[in-house]
Structures are given as C-alpha cells and as structure tokens.
Chain A
Amino acid sequence: EAGVAQSPRYKIIEKRQSVAFWCNPISGHATLYWYQQILGQGPKLLIQFQNNGVVDDSQLPKDRFSAERLKGVDSTLKIQPAKLEDSAVYLCASSFSGPGELFFGEGSRLTVL
C-alpha cells in the first residue's frame, strides 16, 4: 500500500519569497493534516482537513500561510512571504475518520535564508 507522498523533499528560498508544498494522502483517508516541525521540537499542527473542509486551522499563521485540499484528496500548503522562522520540516499526515493513528509522509524540509 502506498504511503503519504510529499514533494519537494527539500527547498531553499530567500526570505520574502514564496513556496508551495504538495501532499497526496493514503487512498481512502478522509482526514489530512499539515504539521510544522522546527528543529529540536515536536510537530505542531497547522491545519486539519476533513474531506475538503477545514476542521482546525487555529495555529495556522493566516497572514502568510494558506492551505487547500481540492476534491478532498491532494493538498497544497503555501507560504508567502516566507520568514526566517519558517525554516522547518513540513509534515503531511492522513488518517481515517475517528481516533486512530495518523500516517506521516517523509516531510518537506524548508530552509529560508
């Protein structure tokens, strides 16, 4: 069974530039999550989708971050404009509806110079 796919794996940009990350969840998973993991810290939830609707985006910095999940499958996370403190690994995860485990992709590592 294919896992959660993310791209690109690595991205280096200058501050104030924009960047987009893509995620393809496991087939049949209704719920999709984006997490931000800063070096040395645990992952922090940015946004949670149920199908193509937003369930929780309370920790998403909406002045610069946006995310969408068209047709309830793939998702993109965009940062515009990027700041130095956005340097992190962006993890996508998916799950069935309910309280079970999340399945994570390998992440997209962003470096902002």
Chain B
Amino acid sequence: AQSVTQLGSHVSVSEGALVLLRCNYSSSVPPYLFWYVQYPNQGLQLLLKYTSAATLVKGINGFEAEFKKSETSFHLTKPSAHMSDAAEYFCAVRGYSGGGADGLTFGKGTHLIIQP
C-alpha cells in the first residue's frame, strides 16, 4: 500500500522568494511520484512526475522536484515565487498491485499563499 504525507497545510512566501513544499511517501514497491496543482473551481493539473529515470525532475512553470530514496521524499521547489503560483498543491504516489498500475494516492494538500 502507498501513502503520502505533506508537511504543512498552508505555506506562505513572499513574491520572489524560494518555494519549498514538502512531501514524504511510503510505498512497498518502487514508486511513481507526482505533483499536481489545483486552482479554485478547477480540476488537477500535472506539474511534474518521477517515473524512475532522473532523480531531479523539472516540470512546468519553473517547478522542480528531487526524488530522494534514502529520505523517502519528493519535495517541490521553485526558485522565485510568482503571484500566479497561489494555489493548492498535491503530492501523489502510484504503485503496482496484481491488477496493474494502481490509482493515485494523494496527500492532503498544501495551500500556497504568495505575499506581495
């Protein structure tokens, strides 16, 4: 079984500052990991994914994440926050069971607030 823990339900940063959103996972098999963003009244949009290739993954809108197996972490970063980054961010993990690839298991989400 897989699970995800996102540390911090709310994170506030100043515009132009570093964004760091934390995600730790638990998986009994090598995981596939994802970050999604959700804007108000919209569905989830994929930011980036880790599928066992490079451990440093670059995504859209300047975001990137690093897979660290020893720490079971997949933290999301962006060097310089923009007002348009204000949204809800979800970390998710996907594993395998007997029937093939499982659905995504999501964390509880982190609400990113950008201060002007």
Contact = CB atoms under 8 A, between A and B. Distances in A.
Chain B interface SS verdict (over half): strand
Contact of B104 (A45, A98, A105): A45
Interface string B88-101: 00101010110111
B116 to A, nearest CB: 25
Given A42-B106, A100-B51, A91 B100 contact: no
Nearest to B96: A99
Given A42-B109, A99-B32, A48 B46 contact: no
A48 to B, nearest CB: 5
B11 interface: no
A45 B102 CA distance: 10
B43 A105 contact: yes
B42 to A, nearest CB: 6
Interface residues of A, number: 28
A107 B101 contact: no
Contacts, number: 66
Contacts of B109: 40-42
Contacts of B96: 99
B49 A97 contact: no
Contacts of B77: none
Given A42-B107, A91-B44, A99 B90 contact: no
Interface in B71-116: 90, 92, 94, 96-97, 99-109
Interface of A: 4, 31, 33, 35, 40-45, 48, 50, 55-56, 91, 93, 97-107, 109
Interface of B: 32, 34, 36, 41-46, 49, 51, 90, 92, 94, 96-97, 99-109
11 contacts: A33-B103, A40-B109, A42-B109, A43-B44, A45-B103, A48-B103, A55-B99, A91-B43, A93-B44, A102-B104, A104-B36
